Amino acid sequence: MAGANPESRWFGFRPVDESEKTNLVRGVFSSVASRYDLMNDLMSCGLHRLWKDLFVRRMNPKKGQSFLDVAGGTGDIAQRIYRKTKGKANITVCDINPAMLEQGKAKALDHGIVNGIDWVEGNAEALPFADRTMDRYSIVFGLRNVTHIDTALRDAYRVLKPGGKFFCMEFSSGTSPLLKPFYEAYCLNIMPFLGDLVAQDREAYQYLAESIIRFPDQKTLANRMEKAGFSTIAWTDLMGGVAVIHEGFRL
């Protein structure tokens, strides 16, 4: 598709060969997996927890539904769905990184969740699930790390049932003009500093900061969702567009 996947040749601000990017991203998350949740708390001052609560409320999970949470390795969204449905839903976490999945499994056990969540290693661009099998697809702070975003959006559409719904929450480049310079300065200076101090990996958080700034704005992502087949697309800005929830239906 002409013009598709422009981010596939960029690792943050650094140009890379398209074939290298997936392994580079996998390496980032292997490095930070053990400190990932702690870093989320520090970098957002705990706000990511409130945003995820809101996100799952927007999903409106029901008992008996099938949920696929992609790039959800540490299980924050899956556990919220589990609690909302009292363990009576079919919940699958799919992540390309086994280290992140191991963190999620361990955290679920720590919270007394032994059964009810399946953990599957897989790529968002070629999900190991049959067509039209999921009621809800979610991806939280993960889409910007996918090598071929348009490919992943089409595969999300493929696995959803007719009437199913896609949910994405992502940090955005489309922040309000008043916030944008402060937000970008925070991303490029504070995030790598905290990454160095806490996770002992400045380069990983330098990439994660740069990936936020390169991620499409709200309207651009909505247009790409539409090209993938989704309809009735809407988005909700959080904190002036620092984070954004996108929603779309498969009809």
pLDDT (tens digit per residue) in 182-238: 999 999 999 999 999 999 999 999 999 999 999 999 999 999 999 999 999 999 999
What pLDDT, on the 0 to 100 scale, is given for residue 3?
65
**pLDDT higher than threshold 90 for residue 32:** yes
Helix axes 202-214, 191-198, angle to 10 degrees: 150
Show the beta-strand stretches assigned E in 78-174: 90-95, 117-121, 134-140, 160-171
Superfamily of domain 6-249: Vaccinia Virus protein VP39 (3.40.50.150)
Confidence of residue 110 (pLDDT cuts 50, 70, 90): very high
pLDDT at 108 over 80: yes
CA dist., res. 117 & res. 233, Å (int):
28
Helices 47-59 and 36-44 meet at what angle, rounded to 10? 100
With beta carbons less than 8 A apart as the criterion, state whether 97 and 74 touch.
Answer: no
Other beta carbons within 10 Å of 189 = 11
- Please report which confidence band the pLDDT of residue 1 belongs to, taking 50, 70 and 90 as the band edges: low
SS3 168: strand
Closest Cα partner for 173 from 145, 144, 202? 144
Opening angle at CA 205, ends 4 and 153, nearest 5: 25
Question: Do 100 and 25 contact (CB within 8 A), yes or no?
Answer: no
Across the range 35-51, mean pLDDT stands at: 92
> How far apart, in Å, are the Cα atoms of 57 and each of 61, 85, 135, 166?
8, 11, 15, 14
Instruction: Give pLDDT tens digits for 124-157.
Output: 999 999 999 999 999 999 999 999 999 999 999 9
**pLDDT at site 172:** 87
Share of the chain above pLDDT 70, in %: 99
List C-alpha distances in Å: 76 to 33, 37, 105, 239, 246: 13, 9, 11, 21, 18
